[in-house]
Amino acid sequence: MRQRKPLVVANWKMNGSFDLVQQMSAALSVLTQPLPDILICPPVILLPHFPKHPNYLLGAQNVSEQLAGAFTGEISADMLRAAAASYVIVGHSERRTLYGEQDAVISQKVKVAIDSGLTPILCVGESLVQREEEKTLQVLARQLDAVYAAQPHLLAHSVVSYEPIWAIGTGRTATPEQAQQVHQFIRQHLAQYDAQAANELRIIYGGSVTAANCEALFAEADIDGALIGGASLKVADFSAICTMAKDS
Ligand code: PGA
């Protein structure tokens, strides 16, 4: 029996609608326990439209590293909490590559999130070029150390999501073996900071996860769930993935 409760995250990115909120919440509400922790991260403007239900939690896709003030367009961790979010995705590769987020700001976001009572889901992952140059583990170590080397106490309050950039939105998934190898590396690497927290840490996988390929991923020892983009917009597919995760 796995001691870490699986976590299945829907990252809607800049997609979704009031209709999808209704359909998704209705579908998830009728799933029967036991379930994994199910987390929906829609665009923040949709958060207040989700009816409260014990079958799912809500989260955001980004947070400001600042607490409050003159930061046009930003949303604070406290505001997310007030909007019923309990988790926040931090350092997604789309934020890193399209919006220039660097390790230092990502590290600050993780800290601010935890200080406000949010659980950050730290995304790490290598590009195709980095993988081909066999730099995957080096890149991941850098991304992880940027957050936890100076602040090891944050580990016990985090989730890590391994998301190879070459697998995001491409239909190309890491094989379960490839993903397991990296997840195991992440857990071992983080054990230097806090062995117990690393053992209890949920490390989830992201990158073209579907109802068809999730079962094999969930069967791996160090894969504790998934972060899902495209398939999280399809109500039947996402519900099916959640149902399969409960048995992993
Ligand atoms: P995808 O997105 O499932 O559409 O590949 C995953 C992600 O953003 O991590």
On whether the CB atoms of residues 71 and 64 are closer than 8 A, the answer is yes
> Residue 248: its pLDDT value, please?
58
Distance from residue 3's CA to the centre of ligand 1 (Å): 26
On whether the pTM is more than 0.85, the answer is yes
Q: Is 92 a catalytic residue?
A: yes
Instruction: Tell me: pLDDT of 199 over 60.
Output: yes
Atom of ligand 1 nearest to the CA of 231: 3
Instruction: Please give the Cα distance from 38 to 45 (Å, whole number).
Output: 19
Rg (CA), the chain: 17
C-alpha separations of 136 from 10, 56, 130, 140 in Å: 25, 33, 6, 6
Q: What is the CATH number of the domain that holds 161?
A: 3.20.20.70
Tell me if 2 is assigned to some domain. no
pLDDT digits (tens, 9 = 90+) for 76-123: 999 999 999 999 999 999 999 999 999 999 999 999 999 999 999 999
Q: From the annotation, which residues make up the binding site for substrate?
A: 11-13, 169, 208, 229-230
Distance from residue 68's CA to the centre of ligand 1 (Å): 30
Tell me if 56 is assigned to some domain. yes
pLDDT digits (tens, 9 = 90+) for 133-145: 999 999 999 999 9
Q: What is the DSSP string of 47-111?
A: GGGSPP-TT-EEEES---SSSSSS-TT---HHHHHHTT--EEEES-HHHHHHS---HHHHHHHHH
Instruction: Tell me: pLDDT of 159 over 70.
Output: yes
> Residue 8: its pLDDT value, please?
98
Q: Considering the chain, what is the average pLDDT of its residues? A: 96
> Residue 26: its pLDDT value, please?
98
Of residues 171 and 87, which shows the higher confidence score? 87
Instruction: Tell me: pLDDT of 1 over 50.
Output: no
How many domains does one find in the chain?
1
With the most atoms of ligand 1 within 8 angstroms of its CB, the residue from 7, 11, 237 to mutate is 11
Q: For residue 242, what are the domain limits?
A: 7-247
pLDDT digits (tens, 9 = 90+) for 26-75: 999 999 989 999 999 999 999 999 999 999 999 999 999 999 999 999 99
123: closest CA among 96, 150, 100? Answer: 96
Which residues line ligand 1 at a C-beta cut-off of 6 Å?
11, 163, 168-169, 206-209, 227-231
C-alpha separations of 181 from 61, 154, 187, 245 in Å: 26, 24, 10, 20
